[in-house]
A and B are shown apart, each in its own frame.
Chain A
Amino acid sequence: MNNAVELLTSTSEWQDIAPLLSVRELNKFYAPGKGCGDINFDLYPGEVLGIVGESGSGKSTLLSCLSARLTPDSGQVLYNSEQFGEMDLYAGEESQRRVLMRSEWGIVHQHARDGLRMNVSAGANIGERLMAVGERHYGDIRAKAEEWLTAVEIDTGRIDDRPSQFSGGMQQRLQIARNLVTHPKLIFMDEPTGGLDVSVQAKLLDLLRNLVSRLGLSVIIVTHDLAVARLLAHRLIVMRRGAVVETGLTDQVLDDPQHPYTQLLVSSILQN
């Protein structure tokens, strides 16, 4: 059952490092078969973990539980916080979870409108987290916003434009900048390339890969797109009907899938 844990403990390079996030026996169901259950895994610092599966497999529910946005029915999510030390997310105070969400964590939503304030400028979108942690100098906030626009390859001349005037790809990059401005350690991404054109996807993936390695981010990324998973993730969890069916290093899972469902997923992508 605990494939992921066994796999990791046997992988020597992780042995001396404490996990950043550990999930133990996590369950969340809306109705029988709708949700996710019996989830166990560890995420190590600097690691990019992909959660793959078709829609309805429970991967988004799982991501919500991991990122403190949805209380699970049972189980634990343990997080090693810079500010609060080792903590059991849902056993602790909600105030701590909220602090994490605007400091050590970032969340990149599939739909930019869920992660951006569409009615305020790009600059304000990036500046919000800074202001939330007490920054009160307009000039400084604006300078940092420009810096991050550059980092995500958006022309700084667009700083006063609203996200609604941006293309889909730009909106996603803005969402990423908005999250990264406070230097989080852990980023949750829900289908970040969903709904984008293939060429735009490629550019975004390239940017993400660079940022992740340059900043040493840990990432949990949910995607139904195995190509995205292959490009970004070090390790994969394959989900089906709310349960984990296979875990392993990305290449291993994609090149030599063990579970029939994973085999089906992989073959369907090859046929495309």
Chain B
Amino acid sequence: MSAATAIGYNFAYLDEQSKRMIRRAILKGVAIPGYQVPFGGREMPLPHGWGTGGMQVTASVIGEADKLKVIDQGADDTTNAVSIRRFFAHTAGVETTELTAEATLIQTRHRIPERPLQADQILIYQVPIPEPLRFIEPRESETRKMHALSEYGAMQVKLYEDVARFGHIATSYDYPVMVNNRYMMDPSPIPKFDNPKMSMMPALQLFGAGFEKRIYAVPPFTQVESLDFDDHPFEVQSWEDACSICGSDHSFLDEVIIDDNGSKMFVCSDTDYCRERVTEGFVGEAPAQLETEQ
């Protein structure tokens, strides 16, 4: 495999000094769960906002023995996931996989796999805007103080408004959490459906924001609580439909529009989970007119 790596570049693209700097930031992040550690983010050959933070974290923790899985929107075959997986296959020559179960590193954009992760796995999130308070207070110097002093009242205001207007909290993704009862953290734009998976997860969770030059972490078995009110507790979304392919009624479903009349079907956003269920013999009720590959 390693014979195929890119000529003229170091293993996994970044030079060892940069990786060491990033690992120090990761260690600090692990030591202070949920705290955003500034780091000397490097320019990457992919655009900012396309996963450069996640890639820098992956590049810094990946070793020759690792098996890498990359997902975007839960799927292994979305364009950006393909592009990043190829990048590491090319620059690190590591083995890649689409199987959640056998991956040692999973880089993700916008989802947490449905299959529970294990202690020997690392989940690396791509983060566009790491600051949960950003849309309340645009100033970095101010938000850092707000974190330092646990001044989180303003974030609660947003939830109050939701309840006042809709009778319940209406934030559906990028739903802020408190980590270890101390730091408010942006879980990256995952659906709030995935929020509960973050808490007490056996796997290490690392978050990289390249554009904003921040790294943060949730160590294994750390409490992660979604913000709410005592009398309006956090809840996740649910679907009336089930996956048309595997029949799952408990996973996050993507809506697919299948004809010009806007007819739709629902399928698992986690393609590996869906495939696994199909091999186990689960079948969904696919619309009759539908052509399927498998």
Contacts and interface: CB of A to CB of B under 8 A. Distances in A.
Given A94-B145, A138-B232, A139-B231, A132 B151 contact: yes
Nearest to B232: A138
B83 interface: no
Contact of B153 (A102, A138, A142, A159): A102
A129 B153 CA distance: 7
A196 interface: no
A131 B157 contact: yes
A127 interface: yes
Interface stretch (A15-23, A115-123, A222-230, A241-249): A115-123
A47 interface: no
Contacts of A138: 160, 163, 229-232
B164 A131 contact: no
Interface string A80-114: 00000000000000110011001000000000000
Nearest to A120: B161
Given A95-B148, A123-B164, A141-B160, A132 B154 contact: yes
Contacts of B156: 128, 131-132, 136
A214 interface: no
B149 interface: yes
A121 B149 CA distance: 26
Contacts of A251: none
Nearest to A132: B153
B139 interface: no
A132 B133 CA distance: 14
A120 B165 CA distance: 11
Contacts of A142: 164
Nearest to A134: B153
A95 B145 CA distance: 8
Contacts of A7: none
A138 B166 CA distance: 13
B182 to A, nearest CB: 14
A133 B232 CA distance: 19
B9 to A, nearest CB: 45
B242 to A, nearest CB: 33
A124 B164 contact: yes
Nearest to B153: A132
A137 B229 contact: yes
A94 B148 CA distance: 11
Size class of the A contact interface (CB-based, 8 Å) = 20 to 34
Contacts of B232: 138
Interface string B190-234: 000000000000000000000000000000000000000111100
A160 interface: yes
Interface in B113-169: 145, 148-149, 151-154, 156-158, 160-161, 163-165
B168 to A, nearest CB: 10
A30 to B, nearest CB: 21
B149 A131 contact: no
Given A137-B229, A138-B229, A121 B161 contact: yes
A128 B148 CA distance: 19
Contacts of B160: 120, 123-124, 127, 131, 138, 141
Contact of A131 (B145, B148, B153, B231): B153
B151 A98 contact: yes
Nearest to B165: A160
A117 B158 CA distance: 11
A136 B157 CA distance: 11
A128 B154 contact: yes
A129 B160 CA distance: 12
Contact of A128 (B149, B153, B230): B153
Interface in A207-258: none
Given A95-B148, A137-B231, A139-B231, A121 B164 contact: yes
Contacts of A141: 160
A94 to B, nearest CB: 7
B151 A137 contact: no
B163 to A, nearest CB: 5
A98 B161 contact: no
Contacts of A139: 231
A124 B165 CA distance: 11
Contacts of A120: 157-158, 160-161
A98 B152 CA distance: 13
B149 A95 contact: yes
The 10 closest A-B pairs by CB, nearest first: A132-B153, A131-B156, A138-B229, A131-B153, A137-B230, A124-B160, A124-B157, A95-B149, A128-B157, A138-B231
22 contacts: A94-B145, A95-B145, A98-B149, A102-B151, A121-B161, A121-B165, A124-B157, A127-B157, A127-B160, A128-B154, A131-B153, A131-B156, A132-B152, A133-B153, A136-B156, A136-B230, A138-B163, A138-B229, A138-B231, A142-B164, A159-B164, A160-B165
Interface of A: 94-95, 98-99, 102, 117, 120-121, 123-124, 127-133, 136-139, 141-142, 159-160
Given A94-B145, A160-B165, 4 more contacts: A131-B156, A132-B151, A136-B156, A137-B231
Interface of B: 145, 148-149, 151-154, 156-158, 160-161, 163-165, 229-232
